[in-house]
Amino acid sequence: MTVRAAQYRWLRAFPWLWLVLAIPAVPMILGHALGGADAADLLHPSGEMSVRMMIVAMVAGPLGRLFGTRFRALRWLLARRRAFGVAAFGYALLHLVFYIFDMQTLKAMLDEIGAPGIWTGWLALVLMLPPAITSNEKAMRALKAGWKKVQWLVFPTALFTVIHWGLLFYEWGPALVHIAPVVLLHVALFVKSSLRKLRMSA
């Protein structure tokens, strides 16, 4: 192998996508570490980034089923959607860290855990854990048909995330706008399969 080819191999093997997905975390972490941003102020960007990564992971499948694999960008996304799901979990953990810093004591956290806007966040995080830790080839091979069932947990995760976001300030607009692409794509898939069944029975 030539030196040039070896250089390209290293470049191709480098986890660029993980690096890019981690970039939004840098100003949040540095902002807090250097004292410029309160943990409370970072709950919004970390939570929102987690939701956005989750939405990207969730739209890939329905887009693939609707349009097939004729678009290069869609093939790229389908091959990498698991990374977006894992990144969503990473940002949810960062969100939790900022929450812990903000609350400061376990007692303060336990005191408000019964609030609807809070326990729904905890539930979303717990539901996110199994799909996140099984988003890899090894788990896929080990779980076989069960893998899809574990990944299905992303739907209740999304539901409880929307409820968490909506109930925090009783303002549903931003949460619903974020989840809208997932809902609309599933409606489109339902319409497409109903039309196909109609055509077949005609």
Binding residues for ligand HEM (CB under 6 A): 40, 43-44, 47-48, 50-51, 54, 92, 95-96, 99, 118, 121-122, 124-125, 128, 161, 164-165, 168, 174
What minimum distance in Å lies between the beta carbon of 50 and ligand HEM?
4
What minimum distance in Å lies between the beta carbon of 60 and ligand HEM?
17
Q: Count the neighbouring beta carbons within 10 Å of the beta carbon of residue 71.
A: 13
What minimum distance in Å lies between the beta carbon of 56 and ligand HEM?
13
Q: Provide CB contacts within 8 A for 14, sequence distance 6+.
A: none
Residue that is written with structure tokens 């191999």 in the block: 9
What minimum distance in Å lies between the beta carbon of 74 and ligand HEM?
24
What minimum distance in Å lies between the beta carbon of 160 and ligand HEM?
8
Q: How far is CA 197 from the centre of its chain?
A: 32
Q: Which residue is nearest to ligand HEM (CB)?
A: 47
- Using the minimum distance from each CB to ligand HEM, give the nearer residue, 60 or 158: 158
Q: Provide CB contacts within 8 A for 130, sequence distance 6+.
A: 150, 153
- Using the minimum distance from each CB to ligand HEM, give the nearer residue, 58 or 125: 125
CA 44, 63, 61, 200 dihedral sign is positive
- Using the minimum distance from each CB to ligand HEM, give the nearer residue, 118 or 143: 118
| Burial class of 41 by CB neighbour count within 10 A (0 to 12, 13 to 18, 19+) | middle
- Using the minimum distance from each CB to ligand HEM, give the nearer residue, 62 or 178: 178
As a whole number of Å, the end-to-end CA separation of the chain is: 61
- Using the minimum distance from each CB to ligand HEM, give the nearer residue, 74 or 93: 93
**Token output for 118:** 């809070």
The CA distance from 128 to 150, in Å, is 10
